[in-house]
Structure 1
């Protein structure tokens, strides 16, 4: 019991902390909306739950109370509010969200069919017809106009029109009128300053700003002309230097260099293959046919262009093979045995491994099918269990809903009592306001006295600051009046004088650069001779390597033809794997398949009359909704056509066949 008392005290404190004193009209409106939403919770839930199940699957659940408030206002308070106030409430929220919800709610067909049927289950037919439907259906044409206007605003087809707002009526404040004060005699400014001991700083009279400050100075035009003259002179020097340039500084490349660069670019571009298509694997039969054609035409010398890298790589490969053959012959000559027996044994073992691999693949395939059948059976069992769980959960949910409604009614009674207690505390707040006004008046009197002292101190500080600024201005003007040296002579034969180790003059730098250029030309000639020698040696090596490659290729083609003939003679069909484990798996697979088929026939869902009738009703309602939607679209198009024809009376329509 002590815990419950503590929770009640905490709840009361939280309500008082979060309480805001609102005007009486707003407070009454909020209270009535809150009590109405709680009282007609079942009526409002019919609309909101249907919205979340159909059109609002992507809408946040945290916004459900917002939609509940609008449902309550539209059904019970629209006659009292009127259309202008309701439109303002709608525009105060996000336009897209409200259009989506109100388009679902203000549907004539939905209101007359499933909403009415759901409300009749809760209240009497007379109450539903008079209280819920009559007001809503009466306002439905104006609500549909509101929806069309919102749709046009969303699609940027209609600009918002400012509503004519009535002018505010000025009312005087109901304040206590102060007593008339005696008007004091005015005092001269000099007497006021004398009485307060204030010294007013005196500044020199300033000169008016000259007109030349706002005009463009003549020096800028002179500087622009000088810059244009220097630019033309620099262009003339550049043209003269390009005509009389030195031969050693020729930036253009020779014809031989340009030709080699073009060849290199062509070779690099030929290597690129961005538009190559992905091909399918080459057929084995066609591959064997091409190999036979290659063997038949092996005597013909078909020229194949090879680059230096491929020639050297292939030559190295053949040299390694020759060395391996020589080593093998040396071992046989020394008494080593031949490996033909080992190769025969290896071939048999590979054949056995291949058969075992085929059996393993078949076993995995059968096991996969078997596991698939078992999964189907398990899924059917799971569906049956889920149906049982769903039935029990529906029964449990019905009981919880009943308890929830009872708890809601109890909470409504408690909130009403709490609101009545809070209203009693408003009377004590008026006395506290009067005490607060007296306290504030005392504070204002003290602040005015302090402000006088601060004003006097501020005037003294302003005078001292003005004196400092005037002194600083005089110093800046004196510094600006001192002339500055702007020109410096340059001697190309002297050092800069910074004291660096490698410091030199411009003349010495030019001499050193000319010496370096001569040394680089001599090194270039030596490198050119070395390149020619290495090129000749490389060509000789390539010719020798090509002869070796041709010799080995002819021998390999002959050996390949012999192996192909032997393979054709010894080709046999694949051995059929006969494994008892596979036969056992096949038998189990057939048993599981028969079991699954039997369970499917046993678990076939029998058609229920109620569900079939409900499905027919849903399909009929859906068909009617589609027809009404198409009818609305046609009416809207006809209305648009009429409007366009009235707006453009001189334009003739195009006849349609």
Structure 2
């Protein structure tokens, strides 16, 4: 068994080195035969025979092994790929020649679990008669595949099946024996020779170093100018932080309502927490100037677009005034009806928003209930799984005992089958050596022919170079007289001399330069006209903006007087959702009590009326600030009045 195990290991090692996309099988076999010279002749013959067969039928073996890894060998290592190829080759092509006893000894020399798994997959009748036969028929003829490979495998299938069952039983018994009878390692002392004492070396003289100069103090000190700049920078930073803090506090006081303002003691405490100095003298208050006409940067397209928009609005207003003069009706009743419908829509939107909020809360409670139910189901499943694992452990122990018994019987049968392979191996080695000698003689003749052809090519190139150098040494006329005023006389229409061509090109450049200057002047005039038109449009846009700001301010005043604070009316859907939420909360608390889980934190009820009142108060203050910002000067009011009159 050890003999065949070593041979199979050598074959696997060589197959791992083979790359089908790069290496040639013939060259690889030659390299392998040269590397196996250290083995005995019988071993070398057996290894070369198996290796050459695996390379010859590489495609067939790859189909079976790849399918094994996909189906039954998903947990097997890819490092055992070559082992499965060798087993497939021996079972398919060498089983009749080796005999069943010798094949059994080869199988027993390899890892039992891997070989049993692969042989059970390969000798499965369903696999052999279905897809393996079809895949091999794509490469070779169907009759040849069925007669020479599939039928012999089907004949050996019952015996291989019995062998696999025996090996699995023996492996289980061996594992049980190894677990019970474990040898204890006995430590032994090391027999070490005592080393000789080392001789004390002569100390070397300590070299004397020159005394270095001391580092000047100025190296570790900053210059005075840098220190002064740091002091000034720190002072300016503290001053800027103080001014910024005072400005932020003033803005917060203006923005916060009177009820929510913090007392001055709390403000000083917050300053202390922020690390602000409280003993610094008061500085003058910061004043923020807001110019009336803030310049807005617009591009040309935006200016023209806004000017056209305002022009359309003015024309529409003029048309409306003309219709009113002609006797058209007013839209006041329609506007009142529209306001009522908008208020109704707003109430419906508030009710829908409240429904959405309550639905989210309801879904949250239902999710908590579902999670609690899932915890209970998982507990039941875990208990059931523990019982199943205990039963499986008992069955596994019984199966291992049976496998150990069958493995013992198989070991006794395998020790009798190692006598009939040596003559065939010697014949195969002699035939292979003769083939290698013939191939080497042919390659030597081809190398001699290629060397002769290379020498002939080199001689021909030397002759060509000598002829070219002789031609280069002949004298040649370098200069040539050219008359620029002479016409060549080729008979072409419009033929002229070089001097005339240069004069005409100069005139053409002059005319092009003159045309470019005229175009440039025209472009500058167009730009000036366009910029003047844009300035006029910008002036009109500013007037229209001021007028629209005035009307917007008046509209905000009207809305301020008509605004009514109030909570949205309760809807039936909202009440139903609240009732369902209360039921889910009660049920969740009951489930939590059963599971001994802490109840989820409930939301603290918010004072709805207080939040709404604060919201409307902040809205009114923001409107007042916007109105103060939108109030223009006297000139803006006059221009707005002129626009309204128009």
- TM-score normalised per structure 1: 0.42
| Higher relative contact order, chain-length normalized (CA < 8 Å, sep 6+) | 2
- TM-score normalised per structure 2: 0.42
